[in-house]
């Protein structure tokens, strides 16, 4: 009976909330979020909020209207689907009369900004070997490492009401109130603990009508992993891509061990509702095509090689190696330009050896130009070159130049969806 009352109360709210949607049913309810004894704003915190299932969007209409304020907790931990939901809401959502906060986590992954060079930002091959996903998001900004110890918050608003400082203040205030943390929001919109340690980074995407702002909250990430993987092993990379700013990071659980996923989500939600006087929390599964028509395709686009790797702004890099050619120690220098993920040009210089070797270089360059800048493709190009190049020594030297890049094996390819 009690449950029914809540359910009908929720239904009333919900009817307003989703114009083009069918009714949702209440799956679980009513939770007091913070212990009022420990909170100065106890009156509001004692308000209850409701959990509902995601309303269904009509199949033929990929539009979505949010009225009032809502919170979605995403149930998948797959970075590509989570980003796809952001994409989907950005493309199909109308936030003129409402706002939405998405809360989500991801399995270990590296997320780079739209305009970044993935090769410069992280150790791609180590990441893939360890099963860490690499994704390029649609918003700008720097690279972040995520795992289940990171909570991601996305604030959807109309373009007019976009206000990232305000969003960050909501979160900072929540954490200050509950855990007495010394938090500030920096000029770069990072959230800093004790003025020193970054616990949150920010990025945003602004469209004509819709905007979203997402930020991370590190509460218990593997900091060692973060440091290792966000370090590119490639030397001598040059490009005009946005570079990430490096900061000291710290996990919130180190400051207070009662901070974990559950307590953090509760805390952020309470503060969000405090500011907005509306109390709906919905668990949402972004993989459901019937709820988000077209989301599978958006996910595919985010997962494809051309977007993650090929979209890196043009860059160049230098490789060099020494080796013996005809009994003389020689030095090979390569200057490679990569554009849209493919080798656009290579300059090679050989020093020390006999001129006859230098004549072979044109052939070498020809084989490599146009090749996809990816270990498997370069390996194949080198193998085909081996058959034609009449000099095992020169071939060995070229391989040595590429050695850092090629050393991993081809099975990596299986993790990447191709769009060739």
Ligand X SMILES: *[C@@H]1O[C@H](CO)[C@@H](O)[C@H](O)[C@H]1NC(C)=O
DSSP letters for 31-62? E--S-GGG-TTHHHHTS-EEEEEPPPBPTT--
Which lies closer to ligand X via its Cβ, residue 5 or residue 40?
A: 40
Least Cβ distance, residue 378 to ligand X (angstroms):
19
Kindly identify the residues of this chain, within the stretch 11-40, that bind ligand X according to CB under 6 A. 38
Kindly identify the residues of this chain, within the stretch 348-387, that bind ligand X according to CB under 6 A. none
Interacting residue with ligand X among 40, 208, 262, 390 (CB under 6 A):
262
Least Cβ distance, residue 411 to ligand X (angstroms):
26
Task: Check if the beta carbon of residue 190 is closer than 8 Å to that of residue 247.
Answer: yes
Least Cβ distance, residue 11 to ligand X (angstroms):
31
Q: CA 168, CA 264: separation in Å to the nearest integer?
A: 14
Q: CA 58, CA 291: separation in Å to the nearest integer?
A: 8
Interacting residue with ligand X among 17, 89, 111, 304 (CB under 6 A):
111
319's tokens: 């490789």
Kindly identify the residues of this chain, within the stretch 178-207, that bind ligand X according to CB under 6 A. 178-179, 182, 194-195, 201-203
Interacting residue with ligand X among 137, 278, 372, 377 (CB under 6 A):
137
Q: CA 327, CA 325: separation in Å to the nearest integer?
A: 5
Q: What is the 3-state secondary structure (H, E, C) of 296-359?
A: HHHHHHHHEHHHHCCCCCCEEEEEEEEEEECCEEEEEEEEEEEECCEEEEEEEEEECCCHHHHH
Least Cβ distance, residue 104 to ligand X (angstroms):
6
Classify residue 237 by its DSSP letter: -
Least Cβ distance, residue 329 to ligand X (angstroms):
7
Our finding on whether 321 is near ligand X (CB under 6 A) is: yes
| Closest to 201 (Cα-Cα) out of 244, 252, 260, 147 | 244
Interacting residue with ligand X among 216, 244, 291, 379 (CB under 6 A):
216
| Closest to 292 (Cα-Cα) out of 91, 139, 133 | 91
Least Cβ distance, residue 217 to ligand X (angstroms):
9
131's tokens: 């099963």
Our finding on whether 79 is near ligand X (CB under 6 A) is: yes
- Of 77-85, 163-171, 305-313, 382-390, the segment contacting ligand X by CB under 6 A is 77-85
Q: CA 360, CA 388: separation in Å to the nearest integer?
A: 10
Least Cβ distance, residue 109 to ligand X (angstroms):
8
Our finding on whether 263 is near ligand X (CB under 6 A) is: yes
Which lies closer to ligand X via its Cβ, residue 79 or residue 199?
A: 79
Kindly identify the residues of this chain, within the stretch 217-256, that bind ligand X according to CB under 6 A. 256
Which lies closer to ligand X via its Cβ, residue 22 or residue 182?
A: 182
Our finding on whether 322 is near ligand X (CB under 6 A) is: yes
Interacting residue with ligand X among 107, 320, 391, 415 (CB under 6 A):
320
| Closest to 326 (Cα-Cα) out of 361, 349, 355, 347 | 355
Least Cβ distance, residue 244 to ligand X (angstroms):
10
Backbone angles phi, psi at 347, to 5 degrees: -105, 135
| Closest to 251 (Cα-Cα) out of 219, 222, 226 | 219
- Of 49-57, 166-174, 218-226, 320-328, the segment contacting ligand X by CB under 6 A is 320-328
- Of 79-87, 167-175, 270-278, 297-305, the segment contacting ligand X by CB under 6 A is 79-87
SS3 call for 134: strand
Distance of CA 68 to the CA centre of its chain: 28
The site that binds ligand X (CB under 6 A) totals a number of residues, namely: 30
Which residues make up the interface to ligand X (CB under 6 A)? 38, 79, 82-83, 106, 111, 137, 141, 144, 152, 178-179, 182, 194-195, 201-203, 214-216, 256, 258, 260, 262-263, 320-322, 331
């Amino acid at each position: 009976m009690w449950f029914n009352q809540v359910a009908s109360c929720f239904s009333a709210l919900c009817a307003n909330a989703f114009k083009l949607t069918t009714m949702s049913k209440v799956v679980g309810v009513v939770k007091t979020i913070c212990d009022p004894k420990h909170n100065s704003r106890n009156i509001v915190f004692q308000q209850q909020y409701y959990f509902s299932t995601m309303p269904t969007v009509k199949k033929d209409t990929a539009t979505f209207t949010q009225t009032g304020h809502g919170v979605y907790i995403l149930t998948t931990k797959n970075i590509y689907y989570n980003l796809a939901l952001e994409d989907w809401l950005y493309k199909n959502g109308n936030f003129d009369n409402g706002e939405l906060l998405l809360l989500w986590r991801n399995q270990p992954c590296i997320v780079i900004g739209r305009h970044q060079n993935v090769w410069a930002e992280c150790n791609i091959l180590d990441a893939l070997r360890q099963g860490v996903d690499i994704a390029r998001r649609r918003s700008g900004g720097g690279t972040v490492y995520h795992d289940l110890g990171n909570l991601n918050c996305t604030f959807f608003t109309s373009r007019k009401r976009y206000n990232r400082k305000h969003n960050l203040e909501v979160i900072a205030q929540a954490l200050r109130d509950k855990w007495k943390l010394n938090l500030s929001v920096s000029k770069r919109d990072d959230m800093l603990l004790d003025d020193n340690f970054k616990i949150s980074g920010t990025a945003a995407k602004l469209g004509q009508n819709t905007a979203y702002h997402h930020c991370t909250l590190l509460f218990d990430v593997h900091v060692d992993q973060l440091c290792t993987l966000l370090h590119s092993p490639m030397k001598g990379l040059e490009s005009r891509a946005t570079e990430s700013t490096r900061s000291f990071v710290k996990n919130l659980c180190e400051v207070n061990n009662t901070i974990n996923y559950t307590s953090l989500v509760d805390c952020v939600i309470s503060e969000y509702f405090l500011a907005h006087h509306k109390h709906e929390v919905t668990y949402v599964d972004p993989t459901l095509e019937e709820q988000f028509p077209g989301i599978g395709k958006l996910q595919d686009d985010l997962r494809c090689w051309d977007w993650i790797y090929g979209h890196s702004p043009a860059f160049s890099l230098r490789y060099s190696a020494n080796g013996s050619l005809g009994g003389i120690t020689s030095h090979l220098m390569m200057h490679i330009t990569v554009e849209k993920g493919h080798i656009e040009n290579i300059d090679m210089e050989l020093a020390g050896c006999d001129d006859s070797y230098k004549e072979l270089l044109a052939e070498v360059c020809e084989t490599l130009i146009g090749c996809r800048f990816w270990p498997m493709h370069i390996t194949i190009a080198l193998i085909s070159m081996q058959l034609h190049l009449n000099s095992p020594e020169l071939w060995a030297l070229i391989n040595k130049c590429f050695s850092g890049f090629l050393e991993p094996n081809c099975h990596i390819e299986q993790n990447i969806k191709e769009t060739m």
